[in-house]
Structure 1
Amino acid sequence: MTVNETGAKTRAPIAGLAPQGRTASPVATETVIELKGVGVHYGRTHAVRDVSLPVARNQITAMIGPSGCGKSTVLRSINRMNDLIPGAKVTGEITFHGKDIYGSGVDPIAVRRHIGMVFQKANPFPKSIFDNVAYGLRINGMKDNLADRVEQALRGAALWDEVKDNLKKSALALSGGQQQRLCIARAIAVQPEVLLMDEPCSALDPIATARIEELMNELVKDYTIVIVTHNMQQAARVSDATAFYSADVDEAGERFGFLVEFDETQRLFSNPADPRTEDYITGRFG
């Protein structure tokens, strides 16, 4: 422990885990999404409890923590993907530009139109490269200038130059990294404001991972990004703010996830406020 100029005790920076990439802007930015006391239930199981945090515009917010701590569950709640799971229920409040996305009369499909998602495993449709990107455009009635929209999305996902001469070929013939970038193109084609990414690099090799990270740093200029990752170095490299989750067992013996700490990435990794965060990022548990 060290003592700062005000006399308050602080933790020494953690060697080897200081962020090497992005640093959050000191200028306050608009909050696009806010979670307030969010909990997620699967039937009688209270899987995630009391999560509160803001998501700032045009920043990358990372969620890290051990397996089973609820970070992916929280991510899926942000665009109502948990609605598709029988027995799932979200409590508390999640607002998008101040409006409760679980409020009466809110269409979950409209929520997902504005808050897109890229999953852990690339999931291209068994269609052509062109039709994969065009799919969301067609079902959302965005059929004007379709070819231009597809090209724009593929360029946005840094894939156009690699596939422009093979748009009629099956997307399943692409490499794993290309398939993931195709899924990103499919997500951004409908021009969402927020992009959720659930472990987008977990199945990729280091070279493909680096391409996705470079892409995220480009996409954040136009989109607000929330990423779940098990890779702490990745969170340190790409994110502006980081939320650390952990898990515990209640009196009934049920495991549940909860938010331990949320802060600017640089501060959370170099000087965490909670000892549980420090234990995790230094490898003492998790």
Structure 2
Amino acid sequence: MNPAVSAHLTTGSEKHMAPSQLPDLFDPVFTLEDLSVFYGAYEAVRGVDMRIAPREITALIGPSGCGKSTVLRCLNRMNDLILDARIAGKILYYTEDLYGDEVDPIEVRRRIGMVFQKPNPFPKSIYDNIAYGPRVNGRRKGLDDVVEEALQRAALWDEVKDKLKQNALALSGGQQQRLCIARAIAVKPDVILMDEPCSALDPIATTKIEDLMQVLSRDYTIVIVTHNMQQAARVSERTAFFTAEVDERGERHGRLVEFDATARIFSNPADKRTEGYITGRFG
């Protein structure tokens, strides 16, 4: 999506939006301004400021419990599905408030797709997994082309083109994860979020997913959560390092420590906490 055009996050919206005026080297897809995330009274993540660039891979790294997956789920309002979850601060999608009163969360999740840690294909055929989203969105014609294009883009077509009617659960773990990526692509999203997409995969399947991410980033903005620092260094252009701070009551709160070009984060981090984590001294 061109940031100069409408995000159309409201059902039937026809408003048009000007390009972001934020002073930066790029017009961000997401702008997080003093973002905090609460589950009930508990503040899980505190005070995150970040700009996410278009058509790049941004990696979120840090120890367990630091809030990186929580922040990721805020970007397509998946946290709305959790009882008592709420945010403070602001998330802009281009220049539109992602949590504005008129914004349709269903449209948000169509434009901002998600791939989860564990492959989760539907217990349907390979074909029906890919066609499901377009059908829900009202597409009735040309589904064969949609399915083929999505599987081609997910580097899976050659492996499954002769068994599209077979159950997707019969695929290997790596194939299932690429199928889930194809399923996300089929509804023409603008952004793909990935929460530990390779943690359940073997090294060969992981390499295929990493290669696929780099190809897809030519056309999609990708944000990935990973515990694998080598993976972040291999695939991402920018990296955000989160940590967990403990307050005087013993409660842990996720905090963004540093966000910069991946090359700088891994070669010359500005914060000693980042250096300690990537060198293995803590975390």
Do the structures match in fold with TM over 0.5?
Answer: yes
Q: How does 1:64-213 map to 2 (within 5 A)?
A: 64-213=61-210
Q: CA deviation at 1:248?
A: 1.2
Identical pairs, percent: 68
Q: Is contact 2:241-2:256 (8 Å) kept?
A: yes
Cα distance in 1, alignment partners of residues 246 and 41 from structure 2: 15
Partner Cα separation in structure 1 for residue 29 and residue 42 of structure 2 = 29
Higher relative contact order (Cα pairs below 8 Å, separated by 6+ residues): 1
Query: Equivalent residue for 1:278?
Result: 275
Number of the residue aligned with 1:259: 256
Deviations 1:20-64 (A, max 9, x none): xxxxxxx93331111111111001110000011011010000000
Number of positions where the alignment pairs a residue of Structure 1 with one of Structure 2: 260
- Where in structure 2 are the equivalents of 1:46-65 lying within 5 Å? 46-65=43-62
CA distance in 2 between partners of 1:194 and 1:139 (Å): 19
Q: Once the 2 structures are TM-superposed, how far is the Cα of residue 105 of structure 1 from its aligned partner?
A: 1.1
What do residues 231-261 of structure 1 show as CA deviations (whole Å, max 9, x unaligned)?
0000000000000000011122211101000
1:36 aligns with 2:28: no
Query: CA separation in 2, counterparts of 1:238 and 1:201?
Result: 12
CA distance in 2, matches of 1:255, 1:273: 23
TM-score by length of structure 1 reads 0.90
Ranges in structure 1 where 5+ consecutive residues have no aligned partner: 1-26
Secondary structure of the 1:138 match is helix
SS in 1 for 2:194: strand
Q: Which amino acid aligns with 1:285?
A: F
Where in structure 2 are there 5+ consecutive unaligned residues? 1-23
Is contact 2:27–2:94 with CA below 8 Å preserved after alignment? no
Residues 74-128 of structure 1, C-alpha deviations (whole Å, 9 max, x = no match): 0000000000000100111111111011011111001011110000000000000
Name the amino acid aligned to 2:265: L
Per the normalisation by structure 2, the TM-score is 0.91
Secondary structure of 1:123's aligned partner: coil
